[in-house]
A and B are shown apart, each in its own frame.
Chain A
Amino acid sequence: MAAALQACDLVVDARIGDALVPVIRDLSFELQAGKILGLIGESGAGKSMVGRAVAQLLPQGFAITAGALFFEGKDLLKMPPAHRRFLLGRAIGFIPQAPLTALNPVLTIGAQFDEHLARLGCTSSRERRQSAVAMLEAARLPRPSDLLRCYPHQLSGGMCQRVLIAMAFASDPRLVIADEPTTALDVTLHAPIIRLIADMQRRHRTAVLFITHDLRLAAQICDDVIVMYAGRAVESGPARAVLSNPAHPYTRCLQLANPSMQGDCRALYVMPEQMPSLRQLAGMSGCHFAPRCPLAMEDCQRVAPPDQTIAPGRRAACLHVATTPSIAAKAPAAMAASAAARPVLALEGVHKRYIVRAGLLGTARIVTAVKNASFSIRENEFVALVGESGSGKSTIARLLVGLEQPDAGRILLNGEDVGSASARNHDLRTKSLQMVFQDPYSALNPRRRIASIVTQAMEAGSRHADWDQRLARTRDLLAEVGLPSDLATRFPHQLSGGQRQRINIARALCTLPTVLIADEIVSGLDVSIQAQLLNLLARLRAELGFAMLFISHDLSAVRFLCSRVLVMYRGEIVEEGPTETVFADPRHSHTRALVSSVPPDNPEAPWPAFDVAQPTV
């Protein structure tokens, strides 16, 4: 029997200026019916392009230029478009990355399901309704008949994703392509959604192409994996074998760059720089990973490594496979937080409510964002604030830096109450408190040069530093955050996401604050960039000595960086304690849910949250 999906030397090119740059180079794989194949890699590796190539819905300027893509033995690329379109939504289903935006906001769930089922050939509207209810029920959605009358915005992201999964499997497809189906969702939803996909896949005996950046997740769900880097498959083979014993240096580095949740807290392996952009890729020869590879030899720069079989069923594209296991991370950075240090920042019984007006009718609702929050941060201490989106973490950050004022309670900075919005309090805060913002794109003024951004504090208020002083300070700060000083004259849009986030940190450090508030500063970034930033923060703490409130939903990053953790749930701090204690023995049910949502490091170990036999909730 033919494979559900087979790629043969697939090449996808992008047009950059006048040149054609391969986004995917000579990709070959075989996905057998009823199996799950994982495509793993960081953003820009080209993994999403594979999914889009199946539907031939590539972004503008991208085109498939060579190779073949067989669906059950028929070449999708040579098929007439109408024929291919007939397969989409019938034999081939898609599960998208951002469920909230993947459903049409002005149509009810029922209308969208109905349209889909009508296309599948179900003529009776009563039958369509019944099967829609049955399918939503199978996707473990509560009260499916009510749900059909709902609009997407009335549903949570997790529910939307379940609806989309139900739709994708509605036609009993032979192939489903899931493109990062959990990335946009809260961590506690990852396991249930993955479990649902695995369940459906088993029930319908569907082949699934599972695209993800998460190695631990791939180890749990996939039968086979392909690791991609800069448009090439660098390693492939059975999931557990590849991930417990990587053959390619990139796979190994990626694993070591991911902070772990079990065992000793080890240092992160930091790959230098970042994946080459399309522009850089155009002029590259040899192994694409060579500039970042710790094992790169002289021949790696010249020769593009062939994709060779290294063991039965396993292939890797590296000239020096044998040396890969020698890659190891350096010794961990020391955690410095003496219990005797005095508190620099404290919250005492802080409340914050918002009046939310929704719709044209403007019905006002009071939403309590923060309820009776009390905690303190000591000198030189890194404290984590974890919780799901909407739990009130960001409100706490905004209260601390004075962008919002509390309705009740006190905010103490070095023992002084700075809660109200007076000019004096603003000055006090500016001196010792700074914030690193979440979104590296929105946080930097696109019209300022890097030097002007980094030393912006030197032109604030009545301060007027001259340009030479500012340039000198810029050089120091850029060196501090590990960036070359020639970036000083660039504009933010000329920098990568990781570089922007470093600028963001440098700007906050300009006035040498005693406390930093960091709001989800590593969440949107790739694993290797995240590792660079986490290591940078640990080093800066040792060098400069400041305290930090590290707001994150990523428990493994928290475990690496912070000695104490606060868990927030629906506006309240529900648990607090030393990181190791809280993670090893969580007391509150929400903390338990958070901790169990992280897949185990060891690919062979079971993941309790993803136990298919477990009864559904």
Chain B
Amino acid sequence: MTDAASQLPRPVGAVPPARKSLLEPDARTRRRNAAETRFRAYGIAAIAVAVAALAWLLFAILSDGASAFRQTYATIPVTLDAAVVDPKGNRDPAEMSKVLTLSYGKLLMDGMKSYVASKNIQIDGLDDADLKSFLSEQAQANLRQQVLDNPELVGQVVTVPALTSSRIDGYFKGRVTAESAAADIKTSPAQLALADAMKADGALVTRFNSDFITNPDASETRAEAAGLGVAILGSLYMMLIVLVLSLPIGVAASIYLEEFAPRNRLTDLIEVNIANLAAVPSIVYGILGLAAFINFMGLPRSAPIVGGLVLTLMTLPTIIIATRAALKAVPPSIRDAALGVGASKMQTVFHHVLPLAMPGILTGTIIGLAHALGETAPLLLIGMVAFVKEYPSAPPEGLFDPASALPVQIYNWTRRADPAFFERASGAIIVLLVFLLAMNLLAIFLRRKFERRW
């Protein structure tokens, strides 16, 4: 071909123009460079927008939610009058438990009154209603529980930290002001003045609130007592079920489809459907769970077992897709090598292919789990949205007990009227984000650990 070309007469006019200096880029090069510069600018702008959005989100959640981890307590001396808390006088917890919470409310009220009197606090307009609503209703219940747990306390004067109402707590967190209190039936400027006086005296402390993590949910009127304990347990149980079911099923299905199944119409159909299932809206899985697990199989409502099963169905396609990708990424030369020394198909897969695919499988599984952890919609349909105050018992029986879940708890709290619940919802989001972050870190750690250097 080169011979033929050299024999042709050179066409006139097609002589390439003399090359300009290399020191000066020509117009074409300048245009190309400009295009590249523009593209880089777009990329940086896109990243800047994403980072700004993330930073804004984190800032908003942290500034709203961080205060949920702190709570205001009143430390006032309370006389545990034996005539009130132990009318029979035998210190028998069974007898004492007949005394209602309301009686302890009276004791706390007396405590407040004597405190105000002893400190000689004079505030205009401070009435009994202000003193009564100063402490949370939960404070009475807590005190009662404390006495029942430890009957020795009867008759003594105890100084226990008592939960203050959400308005007093909000006052120290900047949510409630004297102006807003004037228009609020649940508090008054006089009550806030008392709070200031007590704070100055050291009888009010705002400190870290571990109850927010461990307590169960509380009713509408006791935002200050509401916690995430049941939700965290419920989410944990569901994640256990999802892990135990979806990892073996997903990995076994992937290995079969990827390494053993013949390529035919049926497997193609299965493949397409798995990909489609990954894109099915999660609420559809909720309806499926309601129909199949609750209505047909008769499993209890609001139970982690049902939630876990639904989330398993939802997570399976993700895990299968991730696992198949990880198996595909194992070089075929490793399979050849194993088959070449006479390993069976199964030995090849389990001795060589699976260990090499492990980092990818684990990462996919954890990402799938993290996805399931944050899923709300299907849980609403199977009754996980219910108000649950009792902790579920230990597994396996506990899997059938009613429980809540973190994202559903967040959803529940954001619907409630008291602004204190808004703070708690943000706090719960922080907890959820911490869990997600921990799972992602675990994924990174496992990937590093199992990754083999080639």
- Indicate whether A and B interact: no
Residues of A within 8 A of B (CB): none
Residues of B within 8 A of A (CB): none
